[in-house]
Amino acid sequence: MRRSKLDQIDLRILRDLQDDGRMTNVDLAQRAGISAPPCLRRVRALEEAGLIRGYHAEIDPEALGFGVTIFAQIGLASQAEADLKAFEALVGSWPEVREAHQLSGEIDFLLKIVATDWDSYKHFLAEKLTPAPNVKNVRSMPLNHTAKYQPGVPIDAEESLT
């Protein structure tokens, strides 16, 4: 399914699932104004087309003891494709790194890192991140407060994406 073939029902399904991925197919169909079997077929088609990449539970980090979130700006010594891929693979193996974004400009990567406390982050920084191959510099920015958290993209079922 190509982006240009999305209709109002597809957009409504995407918006509703993005807002509540646990919604039952019956509730989803009702909100979309169609019956359950065609709704399920549409959801499967959206999944197969890669528009729906997955479903997950949102976990409260503090409830599991992860009281510190840090955004780290990483500068690499080399931006050769092989070096970028090697760094991506390395940070992909670290469970503390929850997000890794390659950027253009002065900063090569922005990492979102969780830790139980500031000391455990400093240990991660000293033992893993700073000594990693090709890492030239790290700038740590501890998160104070999240003013807005809204995953996904803005979807308005009343507007066409074509």
All structural domains of the chain with their residue ranges: 7-48, 62-142
Residue type, position 33, single letter: G
pLDDT in tens, 47-79: 999 999 999 999 999 999 999 999 999 999 999
This prediction's pTM: 0.85
**pLDDT tens-place string over residues 101-139:** 999 999 999 999 999 999 999 999 999 999 999 999 999
**Who's near 77: CB < 8 A, 6+ residues apart?**
83, 134, 135, 136
Which CATH entry fits the domain spanning 7-48: 3.40.50.300, 1.10.10.10, 1.10.443.10, 3.30.70.520? Answer: 1.10.10.10
